[in-house]
């Protein structure tokens, strides 16, 4: 077993209106945004708030045909995914594969903050979309 979870990297929360949600989080939870990024290949605008060594990640859809846009249309706003920080995403995918997990990404791809990421299908994780994050 080479998979090794280092930390919770972030919880991803899909929101309809990114700017008003940022204000809501600032007001309700007293957190300040530390990072903003558009991730083109995922069709999302994200805002991160640091909490300890982890982040809250608010996700706004760039368009209705993006994954988050489709999630908002079918499930509405709310918890979208949980991201675990790992040392080695490729190795973690190999391990999960060996255990029969259904993978969204067969290989790591670039994420925000210059990370490497991969998603694991919720059907293999008790209904939770799981993201693996490797910082580099
Ligand atoms: Co994420």
- Walking along the chain (136 residues) 10 residues at a time, the average pLDDT comes out as 90 97 98 95 94 98 93 96 97 96 96 95 97 94
Q: How far from the centroid of its chain's Cα atoms is residue 101's Cα?
A: 18
> What is the distance in A from the centroid of ligand 1 to the CA of 1?
24
Our count of domains for the chain comes to 1
Pairing of strands 109-110, 78-86: unpaired
What is the residue range of 34's domain?
5-135
CA dist list (Å): 84 to 14, 36, 110 = 17, 20, 15
Which are the contacts of 61, defined by CB distance < 8 A and separation ≥ 6?
A: 14, 43, 44, 45, 68, 69, 72
Look up the pTM and report it.
Answer: 0.94
Whole-number Å distance, alpha carbon 9 to ligand 1 midpoint, is 8
Measured in degrees and rounded to the nearest 5, phi and psi for residue 7 equal -170, 170
Question: Residue 11 belongs to a domain with what CATH number?
Answer: 3.10.180.10
């Amino acid at each position: 077993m080479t998979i090794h979870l280092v930390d919770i990297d972030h919880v991803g929360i899909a929101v309809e209106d990114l700017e008003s949600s940022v204000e809501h989080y600032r007001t309700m939870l007293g957190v300040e945004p530390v990072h903003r990024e558009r991730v083109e290949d995922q069709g999302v605008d994200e805002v991160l708030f640091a909490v300890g060594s982890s982040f809250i990640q608010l996700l706004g859809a760039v368009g209705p045909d993006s994954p988050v846009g489709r999630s908002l249309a079918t499930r509405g706003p709310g918890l979208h995914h949980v991201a675990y920080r790992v040392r080695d995403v490729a190795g973690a995918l190999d391990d999960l594969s060996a255990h029969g997990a259904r993978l969204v990404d067969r290989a790591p791809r670039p994420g925000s903050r210059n990370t490497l990421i991969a998603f694991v299908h919720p059907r293999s994780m008790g209904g939770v979309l799981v993201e693996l994050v490797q910082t580099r």
